[in-house]
Amino acid sequence: MHLISAKKNRAGSAVSGFSRAPPLALKENGFFLFSGGYFTQIFTIKSTISYTVAEIPAKAPEKAYNMEKMKSELIHLLCEKSFKYSEEPVFKLVSGTMSRFYVNCKPVTLSPRGIYLVGHLIFEAIKDERIDAVGGLTFGADPMAVATSFVSEIKSRPMKAFSIRKVQKDHGIVKWIEGDLAKGERVSIIEDVVTTGGSTIKAIERARSEGLEIQSVVTLVDRQEGGMEKIRKYVEKVTALITRDELLECYKGIVK
């Protein structure tokens, strides 16, 4: 919407030369309101007073995102689609140990709403770190990296996305990382779930082996099993968007 200010003079009664959209209304206080588009018509005001028109650029207010509400919505989405709990340890983890908790974030991180929420929350966590790119070990980190990169462009703080292979590429150019990266770039390693921290540490080591400077680590869910403390031995700034306790509290509220 554009606001057009009209100034009185005594030269005549025609208003012409508009280059923006046609008027939607003429208010008594001498202001016109215009929407998008172009036109070439000449408008005549039935008055002995003519108006010279000057356009005042209108800037649409940026929508304010409430991060706490986004986090709350994401917790509920994870509880609905990604989290399971049992009184007995019936869920087998990658490490081979049994657990009472099961977390698989992919149904959320690959959903439209999940992508939107995760992208905004990760961006908010790292936006002040002068990050060049975000990524982590494939496949869990991949949709999160793309979501964050997309949001960063919308926010005019562009960050590239990258993916770290589980198996090193052995043909063409031998490398661990896929993406438009150069040595010395500042990156944030992201993870969907941290348990022991092993996969995140592996991602950190592979990123450093290709000359990247790691500024931080962000995980979507911390299972609170000691992994975050291990990761901090490699990177000082380590953040979890959501903890297991927060998921469990939500889950118990739902199943009551």
Q: And the tokens for 103?
A: 């977390």
Other Cβ atoms less than 10 A from the Cβ of 63: the count is: 5
Dihedral pair phi/psi, residue 179, rounded to 5°: 145, 165
Rounded to whole angstroms, the maximal C-alpha distance in the chain is 88
pLDDT tens-place string over residues 124-177: 999 999 999 999 999 999 999 999 999 999 999 999 999 999 998 888 888 999
CATH label, 67-255, candidates 2.40.160.40, 3.40.50.2020, 3.30.70.1520, 1.20.120.420: 3.40.50.2020
Going through 13-146 in order, the beta strands assigned E by DSSP cover: 14-15, 23-26, 31-34, 43-44, 50-56, 83-85, 91-92, 98-99, 101-103, 133-137
Contact 239, 125 (CB under 8 A): yes
DSSP state of 143: H
Residue 235 has pLDDT above 90, yes or no: yes
Confidence class of residue 2 from pLDDT cuts 50, 70 and 90? very low
Least confident stretch, 58-67, 110-119, 243-252: 58-67
The verdict on whether omega for the bond into residue 139 sits within 30 degrees of 0, i.e. cis, is yes
Q: How confident is the model over 66-86, as a mean pLDDT?
A: 95
46 vs 243 pLDDT, higher one: 243
Dihedral pair phi/psi, residue 13, rounded to 5°: -130, 10
Segments making up each domain of the chain, as ranges: 2-56, 67-255
Contact 206, 164 (CB under 8 A): yes
Q: And the tokens for 94?
A: 């990658």
Residue 223 to residues 1, 101, 166, Cα–Cα distance (Å):
48, 8, 22
pLDDT, the chain, mean? 81
Going through the chain in order, the beta strands assigned E by DSSP cover: 2-9, 14-15, 23-26, 31-34, 43-44, 50-56, 83-85, 91-92, 98-99, 101-103, 133-137, 160-164, 177-178, 186-194, 213-222, 238-243
Residue 41 to residues 8, 14, 15, 38, 106, Cα–Cα distance (Å):
21, 12, 10, 10, 55
**pLDDT, position 171:** 83
